Chain A
């Protein structure tokens, strides 16, 4: 493995905080006509649209970065990403079903749910994506017969992904009118994030962060190998269960609010790992920060590159993330190391 640069955690943390502040300020100024430098927080457009959108993009990126760090620690594989357990295809199927019901009957949301004001369950597309992601993860767990076997989990995740993806394709083939709306979900879109969505994501980020903090020491032991961890007297099964639940919750929440955003969950932990090596708690916190900064940057580019039109944010995360991974592979190749 390539030797990580020896940055101190506090150095990387302060860089992350600095970048977070920078992208948030930039995010507030990036409007539908390029950058508007005179920032006026009382302007309803800035307050009601750009602020939640920028904060929402950061939070969604942070959730994906955090769950990516969890996935890579759980599977002990630097190429694992949070969509591995089938949550992405589950969320996509959920959205396509909701859209299809809307297209057929126009009544996929019962009005009483709508007006009940239960904002946590703001059903509709967001709720459908969330429920779909959870159901897919549960299906994966059932197929894998629990959480004991990493390989079984991975295989089950792949199978669930393929099968649910096939159902989605069937649905969109029979209802071609769904295609543009599906595309907007598949490529990610932060345009509709509002204040309550930010609140929800912040709560989930805190909860999953607590789980990471609680599980950190155990995961560090697990990193030495399953047998070593068992011999140290660790309860591997409940630990994995909790980790999976936190991962699924973080991923489902982010995907439900912003759609399938590519690469953040994979690249953010890689980015952190290339700068320092530390314990899981620090790594996961920094991955969350890196994910937030990355998605925020991609979102700003998506807004300004062809304003007032928007580029799909997922295209930019894929280009940025893929570009970074390619560069890293090349560096490793030159250094003669292997991943």
Chain B
């Protein structure tokens, strides 16, 4: 009789655990039975999303590059984006792994019985959607409302960064070089979305893809008001054939980011407010005489 009583009490104590189903970026529907308490993330932006949803304390490990917020730095580092260590992850006994879609070890982890949600946010919409998926997967109470709150606060910090832009900048055209070799950040990329939010017009439109390799002649012809590039590329501007005639180069309307800022800007996560602020500061800086 006592045993039955005990079971009954236990049943009462058990939190109302209903499985949550989410669809990840592989279009696989995942049923998550219990709220995950030991989470591993394998992309910096995924760790940032978890922390933005106030669940940083559930993280037990990240990839080598996750560095925001501060407390993430102290967690075990499990490897790179493409070569994370299966053994190190398994040893942490995670009940949920959040990984990029193109990470090879996803299949291996699943075959070892670890639940993996693969998310590959590329642009602003993806980031917003990932926040919802993560909030639901974590069994957060009022998950959608929480994700919405995080997203709208991020967007409002973008809006306030936009307000501090000098008046003539919105409406200007811009070229953002994402990496050496003439790869541009197009309008459909994450950072392209942030620039659109700031009211800038990208010379690389949506049809051309997120990070296309473009003909440098195209940039010269488009003659954008602004050129943004990160540190190592900025050094080669003056040696590029034909670029010296561009208005942005002549009047030095060139925004030079440090390599670290460059990495932060191309990381599609919830820190868009910060990304917008970096760009705004950079514009202001380069307009000083």
Contact = CB atoms under 8 A, between A and B. Distances in A.
Given A181-B179, A181-B180, A108 B232 contact: yes
B221 interface: yes
A220 interface: no
A192 B239 CA distance: 9
Interface string A185-197: 1000101111100
Given A177-B263, A181-B181, A31 B217 contact: yes
Given A32-B217, A191-B182, A49 B242 contact: yes
A189 B240 contact: no
B83 interface: yes
A124 B211 contact: no
B81 interface: yes
Contact of B215 (A103, A181, A309): A309
Interface in A106-132: 106, 108-109, 114, 122, 124-125
A85 interface: no
A23 B152 CA distance: 55
Contacts of B83: 173
Interface string A271-309: 000000000000000000000000000000001000111
Contacts of A44: 220, 242, 245
Interface of B: 80-83, 178-183, 208-209, 211-218, 220-221, 231-232, 235-236, 239-242, 245, 258-259, 263
Interface in A87-146: 99, 102-104, 106, 108-109, 114, 122, 124-125
A307 B179 contact: no
A176 interface: yes
A201 to B, nearest CB: 14
Residue in A106, A124, A195 with the greatest tally of chain B CB atoms within 10 Å: A106
B6 to A, nearest CB: 53
Contacts of A48: 241-242, 245
Contact of A102 (B218, B221, B232): B232
A106 B258 contact: yes
A108 B80 CA distance: 24
Given A180-B183, A308-B208, A106 B231 contact: yes
Given A109-B235, A180-B211, A192 B179 contact: no
A37 B239 CA distance: 28
* Interface class of chain A by DSSP: helix
Contact of A50 (B183, B213, B217, B231): B217
Interface string A29-52: 001110000000000110111101
B215 A32 contact: yes
A176 B179 CA distance: 12
Nearest to B65: A176
Contact of A49 (B183, B216, B232): B216
Residue in A122, A174, A184 with the greatest tally of chain B CB atoms within 10 Å: A184
Given A192-B216, A310-B214, A180 B241 contact: no
A185 B181 contact: yes
Contact of A192 (B211, B231, B240, B245): B240
B263 A49 contact: no
A78 to B, nearest CB: 33
Contacts of A176: 80-82
Contacts of B235: 109, 114, 124
B182 A124 contact: no
A314 interface: no
21 contacts: A32-B214, A44-B220, A48-B242, A48-B245, A49-B241, A50-B217, A102-B231, A103-B232, A106-B259, A124-B235, A173-B82, A173-B83, A177-B179, A177-B263, A180-B179, A181-B181, A185-B181, A192-B236, A192-B241, A308-B214, A310-B214
